[in-house]
């Protein structure tokens, strides 16, 4: 989220809550809207969903909300009101902004001007971030809401990105008069070189901010809650647009997902796989077999004479994702008993004895 976003967007209106709404109301409003607008349920409503998510992202975070409120207040008066010392001349700033609007204006104000200086918050696109998360096999199939802890560089909270200690503001450099460049005469030539007093920024910070030591930037940890879509597979990289570093537009967040194996179920693309141990008698005679699925069991009918290793397709019991629904591939495997009761042993011996006669029958 950039300062431009803050200045231009009404996050309270986006969530339909008053400006003094308590955090619980904000959460409630968001949940209701998010459920209504979720793209899975409401195709085409993605812009509005994004708007609501963005609003919630800011208003649910006390520090961000304070920052937002302050930025809005700053702008409600029609322009920057700080720096009564006159270092920020509104007309001058508008002149420099070149008609580019809020983002250029704030880009100049919150970072150094004229290059050279860091611009922790400005009109540049925010950088992309990458992180990872691990899901259980079933959570990956169902989709899951996860909390991700992210580190990114943003404007320092203490000085709001100016680099100057609270109560002070950067001064126009007295050597270059804010130009960032000084002219030097060398023989017949005159040329401009970066001002060494201000390192080309045009401004000097007399009392650096104690938090960021004058850089205006701060590494910030934040925790965001994101929805990993249903059907994500192991090793997949998911792009969450606009969830990266602050900027205009904000960068994207890439989440690499690790999916843990399941003791029973496996996966082949959109199909799930399962191995089902079945007694020899049932494969030979035919019968029903209980096959585990993601949600309970289904009954599979195997015909008489089913060979071990045969795979049956259970329609629609595979991976469900936006792309569609896969099948469950159930492979039956002969289970050989390791212990036999007397009755079982006698029956098998009789079977084996009968086998000689059976083999004489031409197949």
- The least CB distance from residue 149 to Zn ion, in Å, is 23
Asked whether the beta carbons of 15 and 37 are under 8 A apart, the reply is no
Answer yes or no whether residue 173 interacts with Zn ion by CB under 5 A.
Answer: yes
The partner residues of 302 in beta bridges, in order of sequence, read 287
Cβ proximity to Zn ion, 97 vs 212, nearer residue: 212
- The least CB distance from residue 209 to Zn ion, in Å, is 3
Asked whether the beta carbons of 11 and 1 are under 8 A apart, the reply is no
Cβ proximity to Zn ion, 134 vs 183, nearer residue: 183
**Tokens matching residue 353:** 């004895």
Answer yes or no whether residue 131 interacts with Zn ion by CB under 5 A.
Answer: no
- What x-and-dash track marks residues 176-205 binding Zn ion by CB under 5 A? x------------------x-xx-------
- Interface with Zn ion (CB under 5 A), residue from 14, 141, 159, 332: 159
According to DSSP, the β-strands at 253-259 and 129-135 are: parallel
Cβ proximity to Zn ion, 60 vs 158, nearer residue: 158
Cβ proximity to Zn ion, 205 vs 302, nearer residue: 205
- The least CB distance from residue 185 to Zn ion, in Å, is 18
Instruction: Please confirm whether the linkage preceding 246 is cis (ω < 30° from 0).
Output: no
# residues near Zn ion by CB under 5 A: 12
On the 0-12 / 13-18 / 19+ scale of CB atoms within 10 A, 84 is exposed
Q: Which of 308, 312, 346 is nearest to 327 (CA)?
A: 312
Q: How far apart are CA 36 and CA 39, in angstroms?
A: 9
- Interface with Zn ion (CB under 5 A), residue from 209, 224, 228, 332: 209
On the 0-12 / 13-18 / 19+ scale of CB atoms within 10 A, 308 is middle
Answer yes or no whether residue 156 interacts with Zn ion by CB under 5 A.
Answer: yes
Q: How far apart are CA 58 and CA 205, in angstroms?
A: 30
Cβ proximity to Zn ion, 198 vs 253, nearer residue: 198
**Residues contributing to the site for Zn ion (CB under 5 A):** 156, 158-159, 173, 175-176, 195, 197-198, 209, 211-212
């Amino acid at each position: 989220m950039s300062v431009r976003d803050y200045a231009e967007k009404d996050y309270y209106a986006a969530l339909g809550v008053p400006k003094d709404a308590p955090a619980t109301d904000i959460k409630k409003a968001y949940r209701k809207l998010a459920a209504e607008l979720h793209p899975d349920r409401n195709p085409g409503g993605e812009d509005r969903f994004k708007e609501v998510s963005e609003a919630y992202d800011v208003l649910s975070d006390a520090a961000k909300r304070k920052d937002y409120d302050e930025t809005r207040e700053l702008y409600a008066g029609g322009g920057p009101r700080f720096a009564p010392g006159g270092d920020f001349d509104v007309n001058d700033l508008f002149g420099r902004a070149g008609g580019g609007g809020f983002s250029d204006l704030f880009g100049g104000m919150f970072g150094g001007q004229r290059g050279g200086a860091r611009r922790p918050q400005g009109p540049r696109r925010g950088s992309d971030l990458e992180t990872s998360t691990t899901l259980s096999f079933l959570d990956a199939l169902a989709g899951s809401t996860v909390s991700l802890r992210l580190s990114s560089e943003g404007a320092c909270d203490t000085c709001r990105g100016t680099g100057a200690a609270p109560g002070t503001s950067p001064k126009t450099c007295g050597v270059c008069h804010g130009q960032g460049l000084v002219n030097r005469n060398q023989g017949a030539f005159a040329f401009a070189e970066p001002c060494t007093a201000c390192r080309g920024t045009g401004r000097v910070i007399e009392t650096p901010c104690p938090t960021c030591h004058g850089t205006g930037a701060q590494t910030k940890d934040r925790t965001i809650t994101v929805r990993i879509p249903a059907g994500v597979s192991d090793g997949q990289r998911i792009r969450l647009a606009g969830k990266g570093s602050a900027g205009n537009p904000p960068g994207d967040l890439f989440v690499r997902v690790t999916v843990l194996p399941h003791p029973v179920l496996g996966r082949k693309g959109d199909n799930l796989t399962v191995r089902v141990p079945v007694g020899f008698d049932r494969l030979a005679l035919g019968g029903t077999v209980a096959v585990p699925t993601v949600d309970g069991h289904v009954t599979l009918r195997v015909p008489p004479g089913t060979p071990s290793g045969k795979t049956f397709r259970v329609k629609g019991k595979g991976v469900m994702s936006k792309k569609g629904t896969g099948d469950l591939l159930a492979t039956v495997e002969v289970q050989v008993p390791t212990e036999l009761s007397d009755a079982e042993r006698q029956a098998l011996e009789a079977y084996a004895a009968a086998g000689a006669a059976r083999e004489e029958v031409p197949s």
